[in-house]
């Protein structure tokens, strides 16, 4: 609490530049910030602004970086101050390791009493920011993707406290839950190797 998402954006922008990298979202399709900050009922693509974070908020910080010719994408949902039990559960549920995608995400969310947003998907990533394939996190008949060695993509489910239905605000980016329910998202970039799956965005320190 006591800071704004604009300030978080500024600090992370400077940190990325200091490491000789570039924030992938900045000026991407007109996006004017270096990160996305999605608070409470914002499902995804929240635009940093002057709103002061308050105790009880949950916020997803989505960071994408371009370095040495490649993009990487990572997000995490964190609690601000004292968050109620439902908010903490919403955040904690996504921490369960996902050994598969659509067949695993939905049962985990349902068991915890949450729904999955069907409006947003993971994506291929590499020398370009967003590429095929689309990685769906909900039950569907479209996900016939065969994972092959060399593929790199993101897994980024959004868990919703209530209905997953959403609306886009006038800025063209911010997606909010129509019923006002909170959401939590996590994201990692993974690579398919000859030995299985490698999570590229884990902190290996």
User: Tell me, what's the pLDDT at 148?
Assistant: 80
Number of Cβ within 10 Å of residue 63's Cβ equals 20
Classify residue 49 by burial, with Cβ atoms within 10 Å: 0-12, 13-18, 19+. middle
131 contacts 71 by C-beta, under 8 angstroms: no
Q: 3-state DSSP call for residue 88? A: helix
52 contacts 4 by C-beta, under 8 angstroms: yes
Classify residue 143 by burial, with Cβ atoms within 10 Å: 0-12, 13-18, 19+. middle
Distance, in Å, from the CA atom of 114 to the CA atom of 91, rounded to the nearest integer, reads 11
The encoded tokens of residue 198 equal 């490698």
Distance, in Å, from the CA atom of 45 to the CA atom of 60, rounded to the nearest integer, reads 9
**Domains in the chain, CATH or no CATH each:** 5-199 (3.90.230.10)
Q: 3-state DSSP call for residue 139? A: coil
User: Tell me, what's the pLDDT at 141?
Assistant: 59
User: Tell me, what's the pLDDT at 143?
Assistant: 55
> From the first residue on, what is the mean pLDDT of each consecutive set of 10 residues in the chain (205 residues)?
94 98 97 97 96 96 96 94 93 54 76 90 92 76 69 92 95 96 93 87 70
User: Tell me, what's the pLDDT at 195?
Assistant: 85
User: Tell me, what's the pLDDT at 149?
Assistant: 85
Q: What are the C-alpha distances in Å from 45 to residues 150, 155, 160, 205? A: 28, 16, 15, 29
């Amino acid at each position: 609490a006591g800071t704004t998402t604009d300030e978080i954006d500024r600090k992370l922008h400077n940190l990325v530049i200091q490491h000789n990298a570039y924030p992938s979202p900045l000026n991407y399709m007109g996006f004017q910030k270096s990160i996305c900050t999605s608070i409470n009922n914002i499902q995804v693509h929240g635009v940093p602004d002057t709103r002061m974070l308050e105790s009880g908020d949950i916020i997803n910080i989505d960071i994408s970086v371009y370095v040495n010719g490649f993009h990487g994408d990572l997000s995490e949902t964190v609690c601000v101050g004292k968050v109620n039990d439902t908010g903490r559960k919403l955040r904690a549920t996504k921490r369960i390791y996902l050994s598969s995608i659509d067949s695993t995400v939905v049962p985990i969310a349902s068991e915890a009493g949450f729904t999955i947003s069907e409006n947003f998907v993971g994506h291929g990533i590499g020398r370009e920011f967003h590429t095929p394939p689309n990685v769906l996190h909900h039950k569907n008949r479209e996900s016939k993707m065969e994972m092959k060695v060399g593929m790199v993509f993101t897994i980024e489910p959004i868990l919703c406290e209530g209905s997953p239905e959403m609306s886009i605000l006038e800025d063209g980016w911010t997606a909010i839950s129509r019923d006002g329910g909170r959401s939590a998202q996590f994201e990692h970039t993974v690579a398919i190797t000859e030995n299985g799956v490698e999570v590229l965005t884990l902190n290996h320190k």
